[in-house]
Amino acid sequence: MDKNSVPVIAIDGPSASGKGTVAKQVSEKLGFHYLDSGSLYRLVALVATHTGVHLSDEKGLSNIAQNLNVTFKGKEIWLGGEDVADIIRTEKCGNRASKVATYLQVRKALLDRQRAFRQSPGLVAEGRDMCSVVFPDAALKIFLFASVETRTERRYKQLMEKGVDVNIESILQDIRERDARDSSRSVAPLKQGIDSSFIDTTLLSISESVSEILRRYTEICAKNI
């Protein structure tokens, strides 16, 4: 199968909107590959922290992006012989990744790596610019949204379940700041494309969100028969 003909479901949306969990379950239901694009920016931020590269150093950050020695194995993310899956999920790393993602050279360096995930039988990719930049020809484009209050509660519950001592007000502030940064950046800003389907998950469970995406994908497939 030609790589460009491999079907892609692209899911964009703001921080803590449920993209990761929903996209992962959709990929499992369909037997598709899965791309968490945000993990790549988090990895760049993590390496920068470990190597002393400042978050204002675009060239240094792009060099890190070009030379990431990372392997994805299920839920494990191996970086230089260490599983860093949990480390990159911290709020601190997420905020740093949001700053890293504002740089054009970093995004260019990671573009081919993201597109390499497009393999048969299909791919579910989630992030901020999957629909507009990385996979503009995706079979289905989704913009997943939830109110900032709902996203804050979800992130708070998620962190508490992991045993992380967090303050809900600080999470709310972090999410608002990340929304503003992601939406206002000059390169690939977070926004709903005119050809993306909108899904508000504020009042939806994970399973309901997954079912809705599967329903829309099934409809598209039926039309193309």
For the chain, the domains span 3-223
Evaluated on CA atoms 174, 175, 177, 182, the torsion sign reads positive
Tell the burial category of 199 from Cβ atoms under 10 Å away from its Cβ (0-12, 13-18, 19+): buried
CATH number, span 3-223 = 3.40.50.300
- Average the pLDDT over each of 20-29, 132-141, 181-190 and give the range with the smallest value: 181-190
Query: How would you list the strands of the sheet with 70-73, edge to edge?
Result: 70-73, 76-79, 82-83
pLDDT for res 73: 83
For residue range 155-214, list pLDDT tens digits in order. Answer: 999 888 888 888 999 999 999 998 998 898 888 888 898 899 999 999 999 999 999 999
Q: How many residues does the chain have?
A: 225
Q: Is the pLDDT of residue 90 over 90?
A: no
Distance CA 30, CA 47 (A): 33
Contacts of 219 (CB under 8 A, 6+ apart): none
Q: Give the pTM.
A: 0.90
Mean pLDDT of 37-43: 94
Asked whether 199 and 212 are in contact (CB, 8 A), the reply is yes
